[in-house]
Amino acid sequence: MAASFLIVIILEFLMVLFLILGYLIRYRGRFELIAGYRDGEVRDPKGLSRVVGSSLLLLGILAGVTLGLVLIFPEKEVAFFLLYAAIIVPVVSVISLFGSRRYLKK
């Protein structure tokens, strides 16, 4: 049984999206891509871009790993996808949120 086409497409899309956004934010300084970013409210934009960009790059890499697992073990595709979407993405997002707070002005 082959992996579900929809799960494969979603994981590929998320992988590419997160890798591109992570690269642009972390290495190109595209702060405006960070949700809720306002110039006057951030005391260290480079630090903030490091945290947010790295988190997005990590999510992109983990989407690629999940995609690989789905293709290798298609019988467990739903479990791998749910693990990524319901556990990994929220955990990395919350860690990024708390890590980015130290770069905001009080």
pLDDT digits (tens, 9 = 90+) for 25-77: 999 999 889 888 887 888 888 999 999 999 999 999 999 999 999 999 999 99
Instruction: Report the 10 Å Cβ neighbour count for 61.
Output: 14
Q: Quick check: 56 and 99 in contact, CB under 8 A?
A: no
Minimal CA–CA distance to 56: which of 96, 4, 104, 100?
A: 96
Q: Are 25 and 31 in contact (CB under 8 A)?
A: yes
Residue 3 has pLDDT above 80, yes or no: no
Q: How many CB atoms lie within 10 A of CB 92?
A: 17
Report the predicted TM-score, pTM, of the whole model to 2 decimal places: 0.91
